[in-house]
A and B are shown apart, each in its own frame.
Chain A
Amino acid sequence: GAVVSQHPSWVICKSGTSVKIECRSLDFQATTMFWYRQFPKQSLMLMATSNEGSKATYEQGVEKDKFLINHASLTLSTLTVTSAHPEDSSFYICSARERQGSAIGWQFFGPGTRLTVL
């Protein structure tokens, strides 16, 4: 299957700092990318959807000013957690979908980024 990478795989930061996570589709063009968050022993929660060149669409309850998403190219999306606090500590997972005309597109997930805010 197609490969989606994330960088970094883990990050530890101090409270109040900002952290940027990169998501890349390595062998396909991703017209749509998604960002999920997963707390321990819980399921994935969709945070936002972004289409290349457009503003991201955030799910209800997700602060768009806190979680900045940029999808500037067909192979790269970034999530910036601004002014991170300990409650933002979580496993962040990106996903990328390859458009296949009008047919259902394949969706692939990155390996995740473990964020720990001290």
Chain B
Amino acid sequence: DAKTTQPNSMESNEEEPVHLPCNHSTISGTDYIHWYRQLPSQGPEYVIHGLTSNVNNRMASLAIAEDRKSSTLILHRATLRDAAVYYCIRARGGSNYKLTFGKGTLLTVNP
């Protein structure tokens, strides 16, 4: 039970913004939202994580709904190298959390 729901696939064009949605309607107050991505035949790569407030880093932005039941990963300008499977994972806070992967969203970026 991955506890999050994501679209199976999305498509975008190069240099355009991409909004990847994630539904986590049963999230508890102590759960963090993590995003990882995985390129073919590679291990997952950390993208971003957050708890309540929106977060920004050099890779992406994470917008978390006020009720925390959903979130959106934003890639501001998609490149061909952003084509990957994106996983949205909720995990309890603290140092002993486990990352359980769902099916993720396969992002295709068109040149």
Out of B41, B95, B98, B99, name the residue touching A102 (CB < 8 Å).
Answer: B95
**A60 interface residue (CB < 8 Å to B):** no
Pair B95/A112 contact, Cβ less than 8 Å: no
Residues of A near B96 (CB, < 8 A) are 32
Contact in complex: B43, A43 (CB < 8 Å): no
Interface size on A (CB < 8 Å)? Answer: 30
Question: Which residues from chain A contact B95 at a C-beta distance below 8 Å?
Answer: 32, 97, 99-105
- For B43, B94, B96, the residue with the greatest tally of chain A CB atoms inside 10 Å of its CB is B43
Chain A residues packing against B (C-beta within 8 Å):
1, 4, 6, 32, 34, 36, 43-46, 49, 91, 93, 95, 97, 99-112, 114
8 residue pairs of the A-B complex, CB under 8 angstroms, read A1-B45, A43-B2, A44-B101, A91-B41, A97-B95, A99-B95, A106-B46, A112-B42
